[in-house]
Structure 1
Amino acid sequence: MTLFDRLKAASADDWTAYVEHDFVRQLGEGTLPVPAFRTYLVQDYLFLIHFARAYALGIFKGRHLADMRSALASVNAILGEMDLHVGFCAEWGISEAELERTPEERANTAYTRFVIDAGLRGDLLDLHVALAPCVIGYAEIARRLAATAKGADPANPYARWIAEYSGEAYAAVAEAAIAKLDSLGDELLTEKRFTAVSDLFAQASRLEADFWQMGLDAAG
């Protein structure tokens, strides 16, 4: 069992509420209101900026050169993804100027600052546990949706999002994150510490669910 599997099992209710949220269900069925998805896209842009900052903490917190290089690669990957995200938003009628001028929603601020705080106060294990629900969870969600008829239907307006996160490239990102958790766990985790680490994971999962709910609330 991977550390990620152990964390999911210890936070089963919170994890299920996140990965099976109504936002996710409607995304897979193609029934998600467009305003909900557009709100999500804009806030996700702001979210990615803070996630790049969170991964940058991995350079500072790195105990080994390999850790620092890994964190730098993640920062570069996220910053590179920003251009793709801007292009995807443009397809939904959202300009880069709109992305830049839109304020953060409270759910976004709560989640991103939680992750950054976890990294500032803790070590690399704390940081990567706080990041895991997003990084790994998206792959799990999209893979499940892609296996459904409606999720894979090209007529689903959200099929591209599902395909992106269920594809081989993102699967490799998620697998690397799982492996990184195991590596850090082998080095830094004790059974006594597991409760505190699993609490971090559970809170991050709840904040992910709140992020989905933010989109639904915007649609009324």
Structure 2
Amino acid sequence: MTAYYGTTFPRLRDAAGEVWQDYTHHAFVEGIRDGSLPRKAFLGYLVQDYIFLIHFSRAWALAVTKADTLEEMRACASSVDVLVNGEISLHVKTCAAAGLSEQELFTAAEHPANLAYTRYVMDAGHSGNFLDLIAALAPCVMGYGEIGARLAADVHADHPYADWINTYAGDDYQQACCNAGVLFDGAVERRLGEAPETTPGWGRISQRFATATRLEVAFWDMGMSFGD
């Protein structure tokens, strides 16, 4: 059971259809859940996700410049802090235990799936408005929150991926998802009004959300390929 992530996110999630299930119940995710995912695949994913989070942090920083209110600026700046000083640290710690330094992570070659996803998000911000960018960021933020909350039920003392699951199921990350939901709801109401689905802008952000979700599926596909 996940925390309350606002009203905009669940509407966009439902509108995305089966691709959301493909993302949050991907074979990679299920391998983490039951511990069967090859460690090689997990570490390969972590290296790429470290690079992804660098770009993701930059995207949230871009959102600060796209914001219309000080409240929006503070929320986006807080997301940068969570990523740079929280999520990224988990990747560094886990990879260090496997003999990979942070310098090696930072200089690793970027996989094409990573390039496609991160550049799509950045383009949404550069070519679009604040809502375009938040809609492209939301599937990752809330999707990992949903995944972490669901997988937490299967965590036990010697689970090989307990640290990863507990990070996204934990109070800090779940609160970050709730905060993102509040930000998204407020931004939609401010720009599209109280009946956003009746506006042309709703179709645009729905497309942004669905496309980013498809790119999340491709990211998991990439992760699976590292185990071959």
Normalised-by-shorter TM-score class: over 0.9
Give the one of 3, 8, 19 matched to 2:24: 19
Check the 8 A contact 2:44/2:223 in 1, yes or no: yes
Alignment-derived partner of residue 207 in structure 1 = 215
Alignment-derived partner of residue 14 in structure 2 = 9
SS at match of 2:126: helix
Q: Which moved more, 1:79-88 or 1:36-45?
A: 79-88
Structure 2 distance, partners of 1:90, 1:19, is: 27
Structure 2 distance, partners of 1:76, 1:152, is: 27
Structure 2 distance, partners of 1:213, 1:154, is: 28
Q: Which moved more, 1:62-71 or 1:202-211?
A: 62-71
Alignment-derived partner of residue 97 in structure 2 = 91
- The C-alpha deviation readout for 1:120-156, integer Å capped at 9, x for no partner, is 1111111111111111110100111112xxx212222
1:34-183 matches, cutoff 5 A: 34-81=39-86, 82-147=88-153, 151-183=154-186
The one-letter code of the counterpart of 2:134 is H
Structure 2 distance, partners of 1:29, 1:212, is: 16
SS at match of 1:26: helix
- The C-alpha deviation readout for 1:25-57, integer Å capped at 9, x for no partner, is 111010001111001110111011101110111
SS at match of 2:110: coil
Structure 1 distance, partners of 2:140, 2:90, is: 18
Structure 2 distance, partners of 1:9, 1:104, is: 31
The one-letter code of the counterpart of 1:100 is F
- The C-alpha deviation readout for 1:84-119, integer Å capped at 9, x for no partner, is 431222123322232123110011111111111111
Aligned residues: 217
Structure 2 distance, partners of 1:33, 1:182, is: 38
Structure 2 distance, partners of 1:9, 1:100, is: 36
Q: Which moved more, 1:153-162 or 1:201-210?
A: 153-162
What TM-score, normalized to structure 1? 0.94
The one-letter code of the counterpart of 1:161 is W
Q: Which moved more, 1:113-122 or 1:80-89?
A: 80-89
SS at match of 2:50: helix
Structure 2 distance, partners of 1:202, 1:171, is: 22
What TM-score, normalized to structure 2? 0.90
Structure 2 distance, partners of 1:97, 1:157, is: 25
Structure 1 distance, partners of 2:141, 2:79, is: 11
